Chain A
Amino acid sequence: MLIIRCPYCEANRPEPEFRHAGAAHIVRPLDPSATTDAEWAEFLYHRDNPRGTVAERWRHIHGCGRFFNALRDTVSDRILSTYPAGQGRPE
């Protein structure tokens, strides 16, 4: 079981309390009707799938309920750090 630190509860919590919620730092176009189909498809569907460190959204659904971001290594499944939503990706 993964032990994940919730940046809002400020505590390490067990994996069953969390839900994965896709890639982090995807910016929604401010005016969707002004985008081309290709740009909208890029926003909705196209994601990188790298081997190594990824930034993801997670939700502490059975806890504080809040979305936050995590850096996770897709090879080891180790979560390197977690940080509040709205904060930029750490180095």
Chain B
Amino acid sequence: MVEIMVLPPARRMVLWGDTAVADRAGAAFGLALPHQPCRAVEAGTRAALWLGPGEWLLLGPDGDDPPLAPALADLPHSLVEISDGFAALALHGPGAARALSAGCPLDLHEAAFPVGMVTRTVLGRIGITLWRRAAAEWRLEVPRSHAAYAEDFLAEATRGMPGF
């Protein structure tokens, strides 16, 4: 059983900077940015996702406006709002990993891709950001113009699966 949902609009910001920037941003954002590779942390309605060394994706509800820019004003950094560039899909259910595996070459077993892990990867012919929020709950950040492809790809992948 897999449920595919298009999630509502969200606030998205990409932050580049060193440890001092991360610490300052974490204080302004209300949660400590993860330093461990490929890990996400969430608190309340906000989440911070490690995308690369010194690079984080900060997620919040639509219209969220944490005071990051003033907090970082005197530190070299890059902070870019990319809210409208991406769309989010949620994938729920015990068959979700299997559906993703139709187009994602990563090992999605919980031992290899545990809860709280996030990474950019591929799904079929597109690049996605894949985040495991719970054992059977995934969030995909997809470039907006690829969102329909991702949704169709996953719907197709679930056809004929047990329980459908």
A residues contacting B by CB (< 8 A) are 1, 8-11, 13-17, 62-66
Contacts A1-B105, A8-B52, A64-B52 hold; do A16 and B37 have CB atoms under 8 A apart?
no
CA distance A8 to B36 in the complex (A): 10
B105 & A16 in contact (Cβ 8 Å cutoff): yes
B142 to chain A, nearest CB (A): 13
A64 & B51 in contact (Cβ 8 Å cutoff): yes
A13 & B51 in contact (Cβ 8 Å cutoff): no
Number of A-B pairs, beta carbon distance below 8 Å: 41
Contacts A8-B52, A8-B53, A9-B37 hold; do A63 and B120 have CB atoms under 8 A apart?
yes
Looking at chain B's contact residues, the main secondary structure is strand
Q: Using a Cβ–Cβ cut-off of 8 Å, how many residues does chain B contribute to the interface with A?
A: 13
B134 to chain A, nearest CB (A): 21
Q: Which of A11, A14, A16, A65 contacts B38 (CB 8 A)?
A: A11
Contacts of B38 in A (CB 8 A): 9, 11
Against A, the Cβ 8 Å flags (1 = close, 0 = not) of B110-142 are 000000000111100001000000000000000
A65 & B122 in contact (Cβ 8 Å cutoff): no
B residues contacting A by CB (< 8 A) are 37-38, 51-53, 55, 105-106, 119-122, 127
Q: Which of B37, B55, B121 contacts A62 (CB 8 A)?
A: B121
A13 & B106 in contact (Cβ 8 Å cutoff): yes
Most chain B CB within a 10 A radius of its CB, from A8, A16, A64 = A64
CA distance A16 to B53 in the complex (A): 21
